[in-house]
């Protein structure tokens, strides 16, 4: 396993162009779906909403593409979280088809207090669940 969590995804028709090749935006769906599953299993929450007051928002994202994924491919997406500061967490992704790396990237998120529309420090409980609860 390359990360702290692995998720399998099958390439769907809506991820592809007319040639059956995954569009660049499809990889962000794979990132997001894997992150949602990670959060559900690790935090017990429907990510990005933590509760009635706090939620995560994306502040940066990046993807690098090496090979094309195609309709019907089964992909393995691994996630490795990285604490950037007391307010920011970076989720690193590797996407592989079989053992071949086809894409890597990350999504950086911060927690927001919706009553103030300001970033807040990640609660220790959230950090513990993200960084100490390995698959």
Contacts of 22 (CB under 8 A, 6+ apart): 11, 15, 16, 68, 69, 70
- 52 or 9, which is more confident: 9
Backbone angles phi, psi at 90, to 5 degrees: -110, 125
Burial of 54 (0-12, 13-18, 19+ CB in 10 A): middle
Q: State the pTM of this model.
A: 0.88
pLDDT tens digit sequence for 94-113: 999 999 999 999 999 999 99
pLDDT, averaged across the chain:
89
- How far is residue 93 from each of residues 24, 39, 52, 84, 119, measured CA to CA in Å? 15, 14, 28, 16, 24
- For the stretch 45-76, pLDDT in tens is 776 666 778 888 999 999 999 999 999 999 99
**Does residue 135 register a pLDDT over 50?**
no
Domains along the chain with CATH numbers: 5-132 (3.10.129.10)
Percent of the chain with pLDDT over 90: 69
């Amino acid at each position: 396993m390359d990360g702290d969590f692995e998720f399998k995804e099958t390439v769907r028709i809506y991820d592809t162009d007319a040639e059956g090749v995954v569009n660049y935006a499809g990889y962000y769906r794979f990132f997001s779906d894997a992150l949602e599953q990670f959060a559900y299993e690790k935090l017990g929450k429907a990510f990005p909403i933590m509760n009635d007051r706090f939620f995560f928002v994306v502040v940066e994202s990046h993807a690098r593409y090496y090979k094309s994924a195609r309709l019907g491919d089964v992909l393995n997406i691994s996630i490795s979280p990285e604490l950037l500061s007391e307010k920011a967490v970076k989720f690193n992704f590797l996407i592989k088809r079989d053992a071949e790396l086809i894409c890597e990237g990350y999504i950086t998120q911060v927690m927001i207090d919706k009553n103030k529309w300001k970033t807040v420090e990640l609660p220790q409980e959230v950090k513990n669940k993200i960084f100490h609860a390995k698959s």
